[in-house]
Amino acid sequence: MIWLKENWKWLLATIGSLGLYAIVKAIIASMRKKKLEGLEEKEDVIIDNAHDIETDGIKDAGEAHTESVKDAHATATAAIKDAEDEREDRKDELEEDPKKLDDAIKGFGITEKK
Amino acid sequence: MILFLMSLAYGEAQYEKLKTGDTASFDGRLFNDEAVATMISQCEFNVNQCQIQNDLECTVKVADKQYEYDILKAQYDALDYKHENLMEIKEEELKVLRAQSKPQRSMWAFFGGFVIGTGTSVATVYAINQVMEK
């Protein structure tokens, strides 16, 4: 009791220092926790971004595929139309020119009997 | 008029040009020029059509493969992005957690803490004394 009466100032100072140490430690722990939470949030953002990248890529791929198939069908339709026109022109050409008709028949390996 | 005859008698494909009233020299079928022209032009058209169909199927197949590739690339890009960035975050996380579980306490930190603690205690006692004296 006497010791306490004589040294209470030192005891108070020591407790105060320890309290200060505890406060500093708590601040550091809180900063670390905040940093970890920040990293978790960053992780969520990255996962969302990755998902967006994948979704956009698949969407673009789908659109490109649709366009390609559409173009291919349009090209084929146009080519068929040209071929039909060509067929009619060719028919007219063969009807008008007997020599070409003969050549065409010979082209099939059919020989003319003289 | 042309007599277009597939000769069976001679065993080879033959045709003969005939005028109306002429006699055919072998059995067969008689077509006029228009019919022959139609058959030939249709035959050539069929070849073209086949080629066009073939090109279309090839193009669609290539487009399908490109689509599959694009999807895989999109998945790869997303995974690559995720992997790169998550690795960085995990690395940072590890640094923080390592620092938390195994704090590096050097001799300087120890003495620094001791000196600061002692200094604070002495300063506190001094401040109390100053207050008490007044």
pLDDT at residue B9, rounded to an integer = 47
B26 touching A (Cβ < 8 Å) = yes
Nearest to B73 among A57, A86, A112 (CB): A57
Q: Is B27 near chain A, with CB under 8 Å? A: no
User: Within an 8 Å CB–CB cutoff, is residue B46 touching chain A?
Assistant: no
Helix, coil or strand: residue B19? coil
Structure confidence by residue, pLDDT tens digits, B105-126 = 678 888 888 898 889 888 888 8
Distance from CA of B81 to the nearest CA of A (A): 6
The rounded distance, in Å, linking the Cα atoms of A78 and A67 is 16
User: Of chain B residues 58-97, which have a CB less than 8 A from chain A?
Assistant: 59-60, 62-64, 66-67, 70-71, 73-75, 77-79, 81-82, 85-86, 89, 92-93, 96-97
Q: What is the ipTM of this complex?
A: 0.75
- Cα–Cα distances in angstroms (integers) from residue B119 to residues A8, A111, B11, B80, B128, in the given order: 17, 122, 124, 54, 14
Residues of chain A with pLDDT under 70: none
pLDDT of residue A105: 94
Q: What is the pLDDT of residues B44-87, one digit of tens each?
A: 999 999 999 999 999 999 999 999 999 999 999 999 999 999 99
- Burial of A101 from C-beta contacts in 10 A (0-12 / 13-18 / 19+): buried
Query: Of the candidates A58, A92, A105, which has its C-beta nearest B74's C-beta?
Result: A58
Q: What is the pLDDT of residues B7-52, one digit of tens each?
A: 444 578 999 999 999 999 999 999 999 999 999 999 999 999 999 9
How much is the pTM?
0.71
Distance CA A112, CA A62 (A): 57
Q: Is A105 buried (19+), middle (13-18) or exposed (0-12) by CB count in 10 A? A: buried
Separation in Å, CA of B48 to nearest CA in chain A? 7
